[in-house]
Structure 1
Amino acid sequence: MSLSSLDTAALAHDLRLSVMRFSRRLRNQRVSTAVTLTHLAALSTLKRHGPMSPGELAGHERVQPPSMTRVVVALESLGLVTRTPHPTDGRQVVIELTPAADELLAAEARAREAWLTGHLEELSPEERAVLREAAVIMDKLASG
């Protein structure tokens, strides 16, 4: 392995750990402890893709349908989703966000943004410029 390959492997290792730590810290900036990260992921998927069946939601979240059924029951009991009959398949229901879910998702996003903004303000202008460039590079890596 060349020195360049070793440097690249070390960078991959360091970057992976840093991204994991950063992601964990960002996820922990929470508004509601009544809603789990699994619940938030399901709500976010519904926000992004619109109403869908529990099976479709399970597919998007890469979990088994019985697991998603439990998540949907919990979210419904919290008033965050509604279940309505499927328009063409009487055996199915359609899961949809409530206005309370929209408000919760917005509050969660604001909490994370506020935390991150506060920490970014502690950095020097040069450090923020480096991060601005790194964000572009990380988007490139994520789409590749």
Structure 2
Amino acid sequence: MVVAPAPLASELRVSVGRFVRRLRAERGEADLPDAQFGVLTYLMRHGDQTPGALAQRERVRPPSMTRTVNALAELGMVAKAEHPTDGRLVVVRLTQAGRREVEETRRRRDAWLARQLDTLSAEDRALLDRAGALLADLAAC
């Protein structure tokens, strides 16, 4: 069966969007909005950052990132400190509470997905394994 790219693109866009929304519904104890959780995961992967660098990475305006960072700081998920070489800047670092939130959210998401995958046949899981690799390749373009 030959599948035309345009209809497949539409179907995949909708399906992947629904899948991502359902997966993101699995959250840690803090029940953080996606934007705040995204900042925590970025800090966990890349270390301390300035709010400006975070804003650029998340493609938001600096005042919006400042609000996000302040909300996370109030929750104890991040801490702010003076920049080591530029006293005008602030550096945001992940706290232990922020690290635990990322780990718990990831654990819950992985557990939910593992339960869903367990309902599939071995053949369907193998197909998804291949599809996952293809989607990763497409995302890298």
TM over 0.5: yes
Q: Smaller-chain TM-score range?
A: over 0.9
1:40 is the counterpart of 2:37: yes
Residue of structure 2 equivalent to 1:78: 75
Provide the TM-score with structure 1 as the length reference.
Answer: 0.92
1:58 is the counterpart of 2:59: no
Moved more, 26-35 or 78-87: 26-35
- Structure 1 unaligned spans of 5+: none
Q: Residue 116 of structure 1: CA displacement?
A: 0.2
1:27 is the counterpart of 2:8: no
Residue of structure 1 equivalent to 2:132: 135
Amino acid at match of 2:70: V
| Identical positions, percent | 45
Aligned residues: 141
Residue of structure 1 equivalent to 2:109: 112
Amino acid at match of 1:98: T
Q: Residue 74 of structure 1: CA displacement?
A: 0.7
Give the distance between the partners of 2:41 and 2:80, measured in 1 at CA.
17
Residue of structure 1 equivalent to 2:100: 103
Question: Larger C-alpha radius of gyration, 1 or 2?
Answer: 1
Amino acid at match of 2:35: T
Deviations 1:45-100 (A, max 9, x none): 11122101111111111111111111111111101111111111111111000011
Amino acid at match of 1:77: E
Q: Residues 5 and 127 (structure 1 numbering): CA distance in 2 closer, same or farther, change over 3 Å?
A: closer
Q: Residue 33 of structure 1: CA displacement?
A: 4.7
Give SS of 1:84's match.
strand
Structure 1 moving runs of 4+ over 6 Å = none
Residue of structure 2 equivalent to 1:15: 12
Give SS of 1:88's match.
coil
Give the distance between the partners of 1:31 and 1:79, measured in 2 at CA.
14
Give SS of 2:91's match.
strand
Q: Which is bigger in relative contact order (C-alpha 8 A, separation at least 6)?
A: 2
Q: Residue 37 of structure 1: CA displacement?
A: 1.2
Provide the TM-score with structure 2 as the length reference.
Answer: 0.94
- Structure 2 unaligned spans of 5+: none
